[in-house]
Amino acid sequence: MTKLSIIMFSGTPDKLMPVGVLASTAAALGYEVEIFATFWGLMALKKDAPQIPVSQDYGPMGEMLMKIMEEKKMPSWLDLLRQAKEMGNVKIYACAQTFDLLGLKKEELVDVVDDVIGAMEYLERSKDADITLFI
């Protein structure tokens, strides 16, 4: 079985969307998927996460693309992660160090988060990944 490992570092919608798309596509293909959410990526998984604007790297094009996706009723990155978990073997982990640093509690996170693990455990789990992405 092919294994995809994603380190979800970014918290802007333009970077979270590829996490959702790639995880759901990989799940549909039967891949095993593990996502390690840290820093801004972990903050995006809080139930009360603020709406963060699209990265300024893309100028007006980023906002335009987000508007088009909304008009076409494309699922959100979080809905794509939920779909991925329904389709296959997808695990989403919160980074323990970031979790502790920010004083978070597991009940503050959205329902897709499976567990809180440290970097050592994540690296051990992902060492046999066929594909590793840092987004």
CATH number of 12-134: 3.40.1260.10
Q: Specify the pTM.
A: 0.89
List the domain boundaries for the chain: 12-134
Query: Could you tell me which residues come within 8 angstroms of residue 27 by beta carbon, excluding any fewer than 6 positions away?
Result: 33, 83, 84, 85, 87, 88, 89, 90
Per-residue pLDDT tens listing for the chain (135 residues) = 999 999 999 998 888 999 999 999 999 999 999 999 999 999 999 999 876 656 556 667 767 777 777 788 889 999 999 999 999 999 999 999 999 999 999 999 999 999 999 999 999 999 999 999 999
